[in-house]
Amino acid sequence: MEPRPAAPRPRLCDSLGADQTLSASTLNAARAEARPAGRRAPAVAAVLPAGGSGERMGVPTPKQFCPVLERPLISYTLQALERVCWIKDIVVAVTGENMEAMKGIIQKYQHQRISLVEAGVTRHRSIFNGLKALAEDQPDSKLSKPEVVIIHDAVRPFVEEDVLLKVVTAAKEYGAAGAIRPLVSTVISPSADGCLDHSLERARHRASEMPQAFLFDVIYEAYQQCSDYDLEFGTECLQLALKYGHIKAKLVEGSPDLWKVTYKRDLYAAESIIKERISQHICLIMDTKDENHVGHRLEEVLKDELNHVKVTSRLPCHTGRDLDQIVSEQCYSYVCVNVMTSDFEEIRKLVNMLEESNLSILYPVVVISVYFLDYKSVPFDQKMENLMQIREYAKEVKKRNILLCGLLIYYPQDEQKLQESLRQGATIIATLIKERNSGLVGQLLVA
Amino acid sequence: MEPRPAAPRPRLCDSLGADQTLSASTLNAARAEARPAGRRAPAVAAVLPAGGSGERMGVPTPKQFCPVLERPLISYTLQALERVCWIKDIVVAVTGENMEAMKGIIQKYQHQRISLVEAGVTRHRSIFNGLKALAEDQPDSKLSKPEVVIIHDAVRPFVEEDVLLKVVTAAKEYGAAGAIRPLVSTVISPSADGCLDHSLERARHRASEMPQAFLFDVIYEAYQQCSDYDLEFGTECLQLALKYGHIKAKLVEGSPDLWKVTYKRDLYAAESIIKERISQHICLIMDTKDENHVGHRLEEVLKDELNHVKVTSRLPCHTGRDLDQIVSEQCYSYVCVNVMTSDFEEIRKLVNMLEESNLSILYPVVVISVYFLDYKSVPFDQKMENLMQIREYAKEVKKRNILLCGLLIYYPQDEQKLQESLRQGATIIATLIKERNSGLVGQLLVA
């Protein structure tokens, strides 16, 4: 068993799609319903087999380590588990050759409550190693035996607290539980000569997905009893609980998001889903309170064009309270509307605050600095020269995963043309936020 | 049965991933191996049920009509089938309410050899309607009964000629054949109370995918015999051939690309795959033969940075022969390196040629106009003013699905800085080609 990496510095939990306060109380409430009031919630740990080679992906890197928005896939899965506060320990089984890389990932992305064990040569052996680490009372181990253990895949990053709670609650009652999904394709059984023997009725079968949960003693005893053949060729933990523990697992309907990243196309899909999720909120920062200013009209156009996106606006960030708010809102897209100046002071303050917030450790944060070109205040040439400085500054902040671009919006007198400019500006903002591509940092775009 | 839409104007077949000359002869060769020499290749038609409502997608539009790069998914599937020249007819079953939309798609994307029939309320009924249209000798129908019929899904756009050939050849020999894939998840059978009854051994089962192929008489007779229950609740054509025709279908291992677009994430994956495929070739157009010019250094850097992409270079396009070459190369990404001028003449000529080629009917074509800023020839201001005109012109050509951007590359005397400029230029080019996002057309980017 590997020692834990050094504890990362404190960080507020990520709250994308999960509210921990709610969750902990929901768990207690759910438990309270099924059992006499006053009983404590079960101690829960999770085991994550991550020793696979990813041969189906057609790439040399095992799929759990493939980058998605430049971060390894497994880090998203760890994030999904660790933001659920009632999961006390997360045991990850990785091969010896990936052990150092895994430690690096835990440190870089500040994952918490993770312990590493060495993977076995098959999935079942890896899970067994994870369970052993939880079961054994080693003197130097901080792990303790949980009442319920969740088994999940490293390559299912979109698991929600909701389904974790459901399988844990069902495992407590039934001894074992697992998420299922309807079949997408008909399943058939081939004969030895490669022809159709029979096809299975689709409505009577389900795909067994992850997460699954078990009373720890049930699954640990099953693994202790099971044969080498099971450990080598088996794939289904629910089947082991049935075969050796005589436990009929409760099946829980899961969401489509539980799907397993298996092929290259799944990596593409995962990246698109993550990009979409972190682009659902745009924070506009205005350096004026003047309600009639064109900056507020830009806000209206943005709300109009991006009607699935939450657009909020606020004054510039200067205080510690502003920082707290930025951290708690978990917004990854900022549009700084500079009405009063064409320098970078406000942008610098925002970027400093974003750095302090650690938001960009997990996801690239887009910052778009918007200027209006109204042909009167500052002369064009001087303004342009100021703005071209954005390139150097953008290069610098890109190192901290902050993607900075400039946007210059023409401000013609003609009302209709202005509306057109604003609409084009909104399209460019939407594109930069959606694509979140580091190749365009430092550019000054024109609407 | 709906009349065919007006024949589209002639167009060269799309050759993405399929070579027709090869295919036709391969089919003959494959046939010749299995049967006495000299026998003709079988007459082949395809039926495409496209009446589904796409409820699993969670969007109101049926998934086969969902846009991928602004083109409906079904159009990609039709394209994949029609580029296989030995498929004589493609019968698509669509619901009455989508009939007009479907005709519009066929016309807009110039699909060929398509006939439309009305879909039934279930998948089986839609297929049956398609088969009837092929079987019946209607006086005004141009369809004739094929020897072999392919059944495919409207939502599997990445079907390759190779697997079509395999199922057709096997159907000729066995009477029925279908593509299969290994199972990604374990399949289980639930009991009535929602618990695990048993799990199926994964190695003994396969997912039945599409395409499938049948001797026409075998599958048509099966449909004529089958019960209302089969037509309402069945999903598997191979099963009908087994049940009513006593034909054990030959199973053919398919590639992962055969997967069915089912959920929203699959649309994301499809879009990424298509973007990747049409970005595999970049054509550089140089307005100078001077081998020592910086334009050729840009070419080297591009080849270096994009080592999975084919980068070719050529002189400007002016003649009919140039047009033929553009059409035959099916390249969707152009980088125009303007060394001699800062006007748009070369770009206009290229864009005109692209329009004539009809390439942008199927995919957005990216054109990047590159200029070097060497601080000596043309004064900066004048050059910039010229280049800002790109915005208006880009708006115009965007209507024809051509995405035009400008790129200004600094050309410092310092060798190391020049190399840096070129590398940044290559990154921007790669980003614009990869993202292929219309939100950035007309921008003048700076490297």
Residues 311-370 of A with CB under 8 A from B: none
- Both B269 and B288 in a single domain? no
- Both A108 and A79 in a single domain? yes
- Both B269 and B287 in a single domain? no
- Both A253 and A352 in a single domain? no
A248 three-class SS: coil
Q: Tell me what the mean pLDDT of segment A242-260 comes to.
A: 96
pLDDT beyond 60 at A18: no
Let me know: does B40 contact B141? Beta carbons within 8 Å. no
Task: Return the H-helix or E-strand segment holding B319.
Answer: none
Of A207, A391, A446, the CB nearest to B187: A207
Testing the interface with A: which of B69, B158, B195 to mutate, by most A Cβ within 10 A? B195
- On whether any CB of chain A is under 8 Å from the CB of B206, the answer is yes
Q: Which domain holds residue B404?
A: 280-446
In a domain, A220, yes or no: yes
Q: Identify the residue whose tokens are 């979109």.
A: A158
In a domain, A5, yes or no: no
In a domain, B155, yes or no: yes
Q: Tell me what the mean pLDDT of segment B357-375 comes to.
A: 90
The last residue of one of the domains, among A212, A239, A273, is A273
Let me know: does B389 contact B345? Beta carbons within 8 Å. no
Identify the burial level of A138 via C-beta atoms within 10 angstroms of its C-beta, where 0-12 means exposed, 13-18 middle and 19 or more buried.
exposed
In Å, what is the CA distance from A305 to each residue of A424, A427, B59, B147, B395?
Answer: 10, 8, 19, 52, 19
Looking at every residue in chain B, the average pLDDT score rounds to 87
- B71, amino acid identity: R
Q: Tokens for A419?
A: 């509306």
Q: Which residues of A touch B263 (CB under 8 A)?
A: 256, 259
- Whether a cis peptide bond, with omega within 30° of 0, leads into B139 is no
Q: What is the spatial distance between Cα B165 and Cα B23, in angstroms, rounded to a whole number? A: 8
Residue of chain A nearest B197, judged by CA positions: A248
pLDDT beyond 90 at A57: no
Residues 144-183 of A with CB under 8 A from B: 174, 176, 178, 180-181, 183
- On whether any CB of chain B is under 8 Å from the CB of A60, the answer is no
What was the ipTM of the complex prediction?
0.88
Q: Tokens for A248?
A: 């009929």
Q: What is the spatial distance between Cα B52 and Cα B95, in angstroms, rounded to a whole number? A: 8
- Both B373 and B426 in a single domain? yes
The CATH number of residue A99's host domain is: 3.90.550.10
- Both A264 and A393 in a single domain? no
**Tens of pLDDT along B72-115?**
999 999 999 999 999 999 999 999 999 999 999 999 999 999 99
- Angle A152-A153-A158 from CA coordinates, rounded to 5°: 90
pLDDT beyond 60 at A66: yes
Closest Cα of chain A to B354: distance in Å?
25
- Both B147 and B209 in a single domain? yes
pLDDT beyond 80 at B139: no
Q: Regarding beta strands B310-314 and B333-338, do their DSSP bridges make them parallel or antiparallel, or are they unpaired?
A: unpaired
A190 three-class SS: strand
What is the Cα gyration radius of chain B? 26
B445 three-class SS: strand
* Contact between A268 and B266 using a beta-carbon 8 Å cutoff: no
* Contact between A391 and B446 using a beta-carbon 8 Å cutoff: yes
Higher pLDDT, A54 or B302: B302
In a domain, A10, yes or no: no
- What pLDDT score does B11 carry? 41
Q: Which residues of A touch B428 (CB under 8 A)?
A: 439-440, 443
What is the Cα gyration radius of chain A? 26
pLDDT beyond 80 at B320: no
pLDDT beyond 60 at A402: yes
In a domain, A195, yes or no: no
Testing the interface with B: which of A199, A279, A368, A417 to mutate, by most B Cβ within 10 A? A199
- Both B181 and B284 in a single domain? no
In a domain, A4, yes or no: no
In a domain, A196, yes or no: no
Let me know: does A213 contact A177? Beta carbons within 8 Å. yes
**Tens of pLDDT along A198-223?**
999 988 999 999 999 999 999 999 99
Contacts of A344 by beta carbon, 8 Å cutoff, 6+ apart: A369, A389, A390, A393
In a domain, A315, yes or no: yes
- Both A263 and A326 in a single domain? no
Q: Identify the residue whose tokens are 């887009």.
A: A366
Counting the structural domains of chain B, the total is 2
- Both B324 and B424 in a single domain? yes
The CATH number of residue A341's host domain is: 3.40.50.360
Let me know: does B354 contact B402? Beta carbons within 8 Å. yes
- On whether any CB of chain B is under 8 Å from the CB of A428, the answer is yes
* Contact between A249 and B428 using a beta-carbon 8 Å cutoff: no
pLDDT beyond 60 at B361: yes
